[in-house]
Amino acid sequence: MVAPILEMKNVSKHFGVTAALSDVSFEMFPGEIHALVGENGAGKSTLIKAMTGIHQPSSGEIWVDGSARILRTTQEAQVIGITAIYQEPMVFPDLDVAENIFINHHSRSQFILWNDMYEEAEAVIAKLGVSLDVRRPASTLTLAEQQTVEIARAISLDVRVLIMDEPSASLSDNEVQRLFSIARSLSSQGVAVLYISHRLEEIFALADRVTVMRDGTHISTKVIDDVTNESLVTEMVGRDMEGRFARKPSTATGEDMLTVQGLSKNGVFSDISFSVEKGEIVCFSGLVGARRTDVALALFGIDPANSGKVSIDGVVAKISSPKDAQELGIAYVSEDRRKFGIAMDESITSNITLPMMNKYSNSVGLIDFDAESRDAIEFRMRLNIKAADLVSPVGALSGGNQQKVMLAKWLNTAPRLLIVDEPTRGIDIGAKAEVHQILHELAAEGVAIMIISSDLPEVLSLADRIIVMREGRIAGEFIGDIATEGNVMHLAVGAGVQMEFA
């Protein structure tokens, strides 16, 4: 019988009085793809950090190749072949792609052979089946491209256990399939791949075995053929989720809140025309690189368009900055929580009230902290933000609760048009259901909602209308309840539409 490469034996981890892991046992074998699932806060991240030397267990042991090991740093873990790719890309913006790929190769000579490095970087990138200039500055990379660099960096090391934490969160369907090919290729070479994802369809497509965690404990480990979507969800959340993602009747009023005509930005997108009614949910679908986010950035004034017309309630509006957009009642919830979303080191209250500081300050600039606290408490209750208190830094929260804080921040501005980019990227199924419910409730209150999502099941369940973009242009449009994944994908890849009806 093949011996495991990595074993976690009765591992517990406490932070003060909080038990992040409780008596968890877990093992990985050479050549297997092992999925790890559970809600945010289930203990997955802590388990990964114990495997990679970031956290040392409070009790229990980590065994590698049949011997107990103490891993004090990520470097020690990498030396024995354990490497992790985390949910949020971690690249150095001042370095180029090749330098980022080889940043952890400390054993190399102090003299860098630049041509050799670039050639090796190109070879690593080629294994991923993507096109990326290895001399390109990392500061110019999209989220999907940053993820590609993260994967390339891990592959460049002599990995024996590769941990992928939400690696597909920012990838298109085609890129996900390439990622799967890479994972399968590595496993065929004897690498043990630990794959963490909230997208259960990925788990069933890729994994050999699946482990479920909940509340810091090990719930089950099973061969993938022995589980179903429903059984996994029930074990993950501890309750029945049936009907939580069913389509809801449209609350669109028939009155346009936003009208966009011929919006264009040189070299980015062209001739974008659409409308969003009050109470309507319009979802933008398409592959990564379709330029959906660029349209959102233009509408919010972060990166304005060069030409075209935007009207709010039938009145032509000039949007040159986020301040202009906010004064018109537009709010933008970014896909990039760190760059455009929330201040990780600031408190929950500070993040929620940040866009509306004039509301909480008097004529001489003194802040009414009681008013701030009252509004933060209200949004905490309304959005079910799970936190010990409101003065904790947002960076200490789970991904789902960070997403809710970011929503609360912009809901505090009382928006009339809410643009939400990848609303459930990297959050668990329970938090996803809650975010969907919040969006439906806002639409029912008359808010016009524009959603950008790469999650096709999410698009199909949320949208009153689906607008498909491809290469900076609108490829077509569907009424939500007659669209299928096949129809949407045909337009997204430029293959036309073979009409299928749900």
Residue by residue, what is the 3-state secondary structure of 180-218?
A: HHHHHHHHHCCCEEEEECCCHHHHHHHCCEEEEEECCEE
Whether pLDDT at 502 is above 50: no
So what's the pLDDT on residue 397?
83
Helix (H) or strand (E) holding 205: helix 200-206
Angle of helix 429-444 relative to helix 229-237, nearest 10 degrees?
90
Structure tokens at 359: 């509301």
Predicted confidence (pLDDT) at residue 383 exceeds the cutoff of 90? no
Q: Please report the pLDDT score of residue 169 as a whole number.
A: 67
Residue 501 clears pLDDT 70, i.e. is over it: no
All CATH 3.40.50.300 domain ranges of the chain, comma separated, are 6-237, 251-329+416-502
pLDDT value for 500: 45
**Above 90 in pLDDT, residue 150?**
no
Mean pLDDT on 316-323: 94
Q: Measured between alpha carbons, how far is 370 from 116 in angstroms, rounded to an integer?
A: 60
Mean pLDDT is lowest, of 142-146, 226-230, 341-345, for: 142-146
Question: What integer pLDDT is reported at residue 381 of this predicted model?
Answer: 87
Distance CA 5, CA 220 (A): 20
Q: Is residue 314 packed enough to be buried (19+ CB in 10 Å), middle (13-18) or exposed (0-12)?
A: exposed
pLDDT for the residue 19: 84
Measured distance CA(78)–CA(414) in Å, rounded = 48
- The arrangement of strands across the sheet holding 315-317 comes to 269-277, 256-265, 307-312, 315-317
Q: Classify domain 6-237 by CATH architecture.
A: 3-Layer(aba) Sandwich (3.40)
CA 251, chain centre distance (Å): 28
Query: Using an 8 Å Cβ cutoff, are 492 and 312 in contact?
Result: no
For residue 189, give the 3-state DSSP assignment.
Answer: coil
The CA-to-CA distance between both ends of the chain, in Å, stands at: 47
The pLDDT of residue 499 is 45
On the question of pLDDT at 108 being above 70, the answer is no
**Residue of 349, 396, 402 lying closest to 377 (CA atoms):** 349
d(CA 160, CA 181): 17
pLDDT recorded at residue 326: 92
Is 80 exceeded by the pLDDT of residue 221? yes
- Of 34 and 431, which is predicted with more confidence? 34
The mean-pLDDT minimum among 164-168, 170-174, 265-269, 481-485 falls in 170-174
Residue 240 is predicted with a pLDDT of 55
- Three-state SS string across 1-19, please? CCCCCEEEEEEEEEECCEE
Q: Tell me: the pLDDT tens digits for 118-136?
A: 999 999 888 776 788 999 9
Q: How many CA atoms lie within 13 A of 288 on its CB side?
A: 21
Which amino acid is located at 307 in the chain?
Answer: S
What is the C-alpha to C-alpha distance for residues 429 and 237, in angstroms, rounded to an integer?
8
Q: Are 200 and 233 in contact (CB under 8 A)?
A: yes
Q: Which CATH superfamily is domain 251-329+416-502 in?
A: P-loop containing nucleotide triphosphate hydrolases (3.40.50.300)
CA distance 269 to 484: 25
Bridge partners (DSSP) listed for residue 68: 63
DSSP 42-91: SSHHHHHHHHTTSS--SEEEEEETTEEE---SHHHHHHTTEEEE-SS---
Question: What pLDDT, on the 0 to 100 scale, is given for residue 110?
Answer: 61
Q: Tell me which residue has tokens 């892991």.
A: 21
Residue 430 pLDDT greater than 80, yes or no: no
Q: Which residues contact 168 (CB under 8 A, 6 or more apart)?
A: 175, 176, 179, 197, 199, 202
Mean pLDDT of 221-236: 88
What's the length of the chain? 502
* 50-64, 84-98, 192-206, 254-268, range with the lowest pLDDT: 84-98
Check residue 99 and give its pLDDT. 93
Cβ neighbours, 10 Å, residue 383: 20
Check pLDDT > 60 for residue 418: yes
pLDDT for residue 224 is more than 60: yes
What letter represents residue 133's amino acid?
D
pLDDT surpasses 90 at 315: yes
The pLDDT of residue 40 is 66
DSSP 340: I
Beta-bridge partners for 260:
274, 310
Spatial separation of the C-alpha atoms in residues 318 and 457, rounded to whole Å: 35
Average pLDDT of every residue of the chain: 86
**156: nearest Cα among 115, 181, 197, 123:** 123
Of residues 125 and 473, the one with the higher pLDDT is 473
